[in-house]
Homo-oligomer: A and B are copies of this chain.
Amino acid sequence: MSVRAGIVVTGTEVLTGRVADRNGPWVADRLLELGIELAHITICGDRSSDIEAQLGFLRSEGVDLVVTTGGLGPTADDMTVATVARFCGRQLVLDPAMEATIAEIVARWMARFPDIDTRAVQAANRKQAMVPEGATVLHPVGTAPGVVIAGSDGPTIIVLPGPPKELQGMWSAAVATEAVQQAITGRTAYQQDTVRMFGVAESGLAETLRAAEESVPGFTCLEITTCLRRGELEMVTRYEPAGAQAYRGLMELVRERHGAAVFSEDGSTVDEQVAGLLSGRRIATAESCTAGMLAARLTDRAGSSAYVTGGVVAYANEAKIALLDVDPALIAEHGAVSAEVAEAMAAGAIRRFGVDSAVAITGVAGPGGGTEDKPVGTVWFCVMIADGPTTTRRVQVPGERPDVRERSTTVAMHLLRRALLDARAQT
């Protein structure tokens, strides 16, 4: 049996696109892990009638579980709890214990702001302690408690706060409630596998999937989605346990046709793989058009100081010369966007930082600066491993300025991964 769910995201700032919703995707992932099928995400502003309409829609769609996010704050435009209560035909009642809990949390914060209006704070605490009759109350992570209301003739509803940290901190308590456990019993356990590829077109994979439809027994049990992400191609396959054999068959075909492009079958990202391969090494970057994006990406991960020494953003030619010892004659002869300058930048980074590995990127990000020979999107890369290979590569990166910069960073990560694998194989 399949359990279906819906997510109601509330908040005018999310509806109007001023804030990107981080809760929908996060909850979607958690539902998937629980084997719950997500049918709909709906987004509306802080308007009671719109929230209620979306709840009604999800009930009419017969979902078993609804998760709402946002609208639990102390101000008047936070109305989700009251709206859900009305939707379920429950009274709002004061939870005195919760009021005391919130007052205690707020008191700790208020110590830092001595001139705050105490009466306003008390009113805010009380509003947040009003809960639907018979609901299970979830202990606040910030100041707003969450709420779970068991469905009788409708879905069970989990009401969670909008700040992602508060929502995430409350999730496991919400799932552990009896009401939620009852709503999701009998669910099928799905398996989900992610394969990541780099250097294969979406149409090429589509052709392979069409071939698999003919040649792989049980192919129809597999629910496959493919998408391009940051220049990589991702294939996610979801299947019931009985589909495992079909998935193995599919993967044989994928490896046969796109083996060189497949870099991850276990869900790992290129960032994780590069981090592992850099263990015991020291790396520096030399970036022109990406101007620090590769260094920022390499240091995204906690613990990256173990292998990242630093980098030079050599945006202007003077910077390439002064900070990376690039010979001005090279730039004059070949141009700043050239194999020669990319190699000189990488060599300069290795020498100046005293490291064993370096990546250099120099290209035309646009919109200006393109020529017939080197149109916008022309990017030269050089990966230099002191005790291993040097890779110099020209790539025509598609898209506009932001795409060229972002994709170039991804290309660099993959060239680096390949070079580090080769270096490891040589030793």
Contacts and interface: CB of A to CB of B under 8 A. Distances in A.
Contacts of A229: 18-19
A302 interface: yes
A185 to B, nearest CB: 23
A296 B311 CA distance: 13
Contact of A300 (B206, B304, B314, B402): B402
A215 interface: no
A308 B312 contact: no
A18 B234 contact: yes
Given A318-B354, A323-B353, 19 more contacts: A13-B227, A15-B28, A16-B225, A17-B26, A18-B227, A19-B227, A24-B43, A39-B45, A40-B43, A40-B53, A40-B54, A42-B43, A117-B207, A287-B292, A291-B295, A291-B298, A299-B313, A311-B315, A322-B352
Contact of A17 (B16, B29, B210): B29
A169 to B, nearest CB: 12
Interface centre among A285, A303, A312 (most CB of B within 10 A): A312
B300 A292 contact: no
Interface in A15-39: 15-20, 24-26, 28-29, 32, 38-39
A293 B311 CA distance: 12
A311 B312 contact: yes
Contacts of A13: 225, 227, 236
A309 B300 contact: no
Nearest to A58: B57
B42 A50 contact: no
A89 interface: no
B313 A311 contact: yes
A167 B401 CA distance: 18
A313 B291 contact: no
A208 interface: no
A174 interface: no
Interface centre among A43, A294, A368 (most CB of B within 10 A): A43
B285 A313 contact: yes
Contacts of A75: 206
A20 B18 contact: no
A193 interface: no
A269 interface: no
A368 B318 contact: no
Interface string A60-75: 0100000000000001
A281 to B, nearest CB: 13
A2 interface: no
A25 B11 CA distance: 13
Contacts of A225: 12-13, 16, 18, 46, 77
Contacts of A292: 285, 287, 291-296, 299, 311, 313
Contacts of A77: 225
A366 interface: yes
Contacts of A18: 25, 225, 227, 229, 234, 236
Nearest to A20: B20
Listed from nearest, the 4 A-B pairs whose CB atoms lie closest are A17-B25, A292-B292, A310-B319, A292-B295
Nearest to A225: B12
A108 to B, nearest CB: 15
Contacts of A15: 28, 38, 41
Contacts of A38: 15-16, 45
B352 A323 contact: yes
A303 B227 contact: no
A407 B284 CA distance: 24
Nearest to A206: B75
B314 A310 contact: yes
A313 B315 contact: no
A367 B302 contact: yes
A268 interface: no
